[in-house]
Amino acid sequence: MEGKIKTYMFSGQELIEEEEEFDSVVAMVAYAMMKNDSEVKQMVEKWVSQGKRIIYFYPGLSSGDVSGMKYIGDVPDGAMYLG
């Protein structure tokens, strides 16, 4: 998969849609899961094809509720979830 994919970020309690390069998202998921890019590439492709949302949560910027989301792992200054 190439090009941009949709990701999301909580701002306050609001979920904001963004677009990021596929390779950048794969790198961040790999970082969060402590795996290499090749291990997570197919996983991210599957999530995108299933319509799942990759969500960044930064506690300093957000008070959104992530309790119903699947925790992927930590990223700098926050965490990543699948919703």
pLDDT in tens, 1-11: 889 999 999 98
In the predicted structure, residue 60 carries a pLDDT above the cut 90: no
Q: What angle do CA 26, 27, 30 make, to 5 degrees?
A: 85
At residue 41 the predicted structure's pLDDT band, cuts being 50, 70 and 90, is very high
- pLDDT tier, 62 (very low <50, low <70, confident <90, very high otherwise): confident
Checking if the pLDDT of 13 tops 90, the result is no
% pLDDT > 90, the chain: 78
Nearest CA among 13, 7, 8 for reference residue 59: 13
Q: How far apart are CA 50 and CA 53, in angstroms?
A: 9
State the pTM of this model: 0.89
Contacts of 38 (CB under 8 A, 6+ apart): none
